Structure 1
């Protein structure tokens, strides 16, 4: 493992002999991968992850974003490409074939039986991996494609061998059945993988211990944000400032997302106000709302998790006296919505919980009427996706794209559709990024 301070490569015996320190500069290592159980982390890997999530230390991020990003990066390291699985299959099947010919004296029926058992075990293992919630979506899809390729090989090779070499109808039948089953399983897994749920590779406690250990050895993580602070001290504004009003407002369902956008100067760079539905930032909330309500051309953008609570954000904005009840302002639901996840079928970290399923069943009729049957089924199954599963750069990019696409709402290229009747003036972005 290389030292992140001087770049010296330290072998295990070097690290052990030097009490877990670099043999050249004596800088302590935060992690010792050989003593870790399931998940292996090295200092260079963790440093690279911190650099990548912060876009080379230019963007702030939340602890939960780091939790997600570390999990997805480690899940990706266990990824086996379709090509590797295919080459592994050819190598093993060749070895099994050669070995079985030698030990059986060339008995073709026993060789065919042994190859059948090997193929059955290999296909079962790949199918398990293609359905594993511990693996990333990319890895699961690679395993599914490998099932298809192996099925084609078994059909071609098995049928040819059973007819030309073995001359057995029994072997021919087994080859056809196994090949078709492998192709079918691979095809089904590819179709279903987009909405499969995923689990974390490690616990929240393990993650916090790793972060604390890194801080003890290497100092503060500069770009990680603390929990949003509730500050009820009212800020004072120059009257000239309060006479001004933004044309755009972003409302987040959680204070952590509002804090993230503000910390990364999204409000300055995109000329918009940013608030959370919980009233963050408290010190300027009331003043900001007074300024915004004076603007008849205001557009409100809702940004939320795909969860029962997040889905209710737009309805709350439209019906709450604290927000925009009895107002004709335009509200644009940027997402995240079940419709966007179902349409994307790629790369989103979908989780599931009984609590989320129970909360979805309690959604009011007003909220349900703007959801399709497929979206309601998604939510009532307990599935949800958090905004913090996206990196800061990706989240900012998606939000900018959603705002840019809403400049001309009536345009067919805007990527928006009207939710409910026209009196609501609520639009939903078709795609989350």
Structure 2
């Protein structure tokens, strides 16, 4: 795979880790994110001071020429700026390059000032001070924005599919990887004794993939809740489940979604869509992902960009835009987005469990909740969720 090296043991460990030793189901895209993260760590790990073994000999070689010395330093500054901003490196490597910029700036200042004093050259003194201070400044600036830099995949989903097929051919193992959600529209008959009951909680996902993931991992059994997607998955029991849910006036709905325009509009969609809860006083709790959660964690989630996301953000309903801060709107309108599938199954399950537990008693204790917008008591964000996501990362 060009410059990407991957072994059988590496692939086996990645599969074991994402499935927690073959106990959790995962989606193909989750595996793509997981492998991408692992390979970045493996391929792009750099020594904080390794570059000095190249920089010092070059500096000594060029020290007799002022122009040569400036060229060497300029090349290193440019390289560190470029690498600290690269979408192909992980945040650890980008952060290391930003710190290298600061270190290099200090070396340029100290060494350059000594050389300028020795050579009695004021013009050289001015140049090294500007270059050294600029390097330190750029390094500080890059460190402050590392967590918000966009990323690109090192390989495609089709490549991961090929690797999986080859792996299964060679090893004959059955993986806990989920197929595409079954869009079967034929209703499934359910025992009337079962439909006579309802649920106290409903988790609504903005994608069928996440709903399928939660159901496959028995989240609904372990947390006594129904799970549906805004697209109507699972179609075979969707209508029956909604009938059961509407019987419960105390129903609490938990929305979980990608951090994009479609996902952020999920709560508004639930509130205004006749197929869901139009004209009904239902508590709807927004678990996330929200732009404020991405911004608050500052831990470098897998932020992507697309022009379509930028256009969609500018077309958000007025009610949704009013619930967002100016910083969140800028983030969205820049075309940024984060997918929920960028997190492992275990992390998604833990965060969702914490979100539900933290908002279970809204009436008695809402100290962990932040009211969003001015739409009454139907939209909340669990502030503890920010801390959980930061910890999970």
If the length of structure 1 is used for normalisation, what is the TM-score?
0.83
**Could you tell me how far 1:428 is from its partner in structure 2?**
2.0
CA distance in 2, matches of 1:380, 1:99: 49
Q: Which among 358, 366, 373 is matched to residue 420 of structure 1?
A: 373
The answer to whether structure 1 residue 213 and structure 2 residue 166 are counterparts is: yes
How big is the shift at 1:130?
Answer: 0.6
1:58-207 maps to which residues of 2 (within 5 A)? 58-81=23-46, 84-85=47-48, 87-100=49-62, 109-110=64-65, 113-163=67-117, 165-207=118-160
Tell me which of the two structures has the higher relative contact order, counting C-alpha pairs closer than 8 angstroms and 6 or more residues apart: 2
Match of 2:214 in 1: 261
Partner of residue 277, structure 1: 230
1:6-21 to 2 correspondences below 5 Å: none
Distance 2:164 2:119 in 1: 60
In structure 2, the partner of 1:39 is: 4
Alignment partner of 1:298 is 2:251: yes
Instruction: Report SS of the residue matched to 1:332.
Output: strand
Q: Larger C-alpha radius of gyration, 1 or 2?
A: 1
1:30-57 CA distance string (max 9 Å, x none): xxxxxx3132222111111111111111
**Is 1:109–1:166's contact at 8 Å kept on the other side of the alignment?**
no
- Alignment partner of 1:330 out of 283, 297, 301: 283
Aligned length: 385
User: Is contact 2:149-2:300 (8 Å) kept?
Assistant: no
CA drift of 1:412 comes to 5.5
In 2, the alpha carbon distance for the partners of 1:283 and 1:96 equals: 69
Deviations 1:339-391 (A, max 9, x none): 21122222211111112222222222222222222222222221111111111
Q: Structure 2 CA distance, aligned partners of 1:214 and 1:313? A: 38
Q: CA deviation at 1:189?
A: 1.1
Q: Distance in 2 between matches of 1:98 and 1:188?
A: 29
Change beyond 3 A, Cα 1:160–1:116: same
Rounded Cα–Cα distance in structure 2 between residues aligned with 1:352 and 1:262: 30
C-alpha distance in 1 between matches for 2:320 and 2:380? 14
Whether the 8 Å CA contact 1:138–1:347 is kept in 2: the answer is no
Q: 1:181 to 1:230 in 2, by over 3 A?
A: same
Deviation at 1:231, TM superposition (A): 2.6
Partner of 1:374: 327
Task: Tell me what 1:356 maps to.
Answer: 309
Of residues 299, 309, 318, the one that matches 1:365 is: 318
- Under a length normalisation based on structure 2, what TM-score does the superposition of the two structures give? 0.91
Distance in 1 of aligned mates of 2:196 and 2:44: 55
* Secondary structure of 2:380's aligned partner: strand
Q: What are the equivalent positions in structure 2 for 1:305-344 lying under 5 Å apart?
A: 305-344=258-297
* CA positional deviation for 1:136: 1.7
**How big is each residue's C-alpha offset from its partner over 1:232-284, in whole Å with a ceiling of 9 and x where there is no partner?**
34333333322322211100011110000011111111111111111111222
Deviation at 1:332, TM superposition (A): 0.5
Deviation by residue 1:200-240 (Cα, 9 ceiling, x = unmatched)? 11123322222222222222442100111123343333333
CA drift of 1:141 comes to 1.8
SS at match of 1:159: helix
Separation (CA, whole Å) in 1 of partners of 2:228 and 2:181: 12
Give the distance between the partners of 1:149 and 1:54, measured in 2 at CA.
41
User: 1:4-30, CA deviations, whole angstroms, 9 ceiling, x for partnerless residues?
Assistant: xxxxxxxxxxxxxxxxxxxxxxxxxxx
Structure 1 gap segments, 5+ residues each: 1-35, 101-107
Contact 1:39 1:202 in 2 (8 A): no
Find the aligned partners of 1:62 and 1:321 in 2 and give their Cα distance: 31
**CA separation in 1, counterparts of 2:51 and 2:74?**
12
Distance in 2 between residues matched to 1:74 and 1:244, nearest whole Å: 48
- Say whether the 8 Å CA contact 2:255–2:285 is kept in structure 1: yes
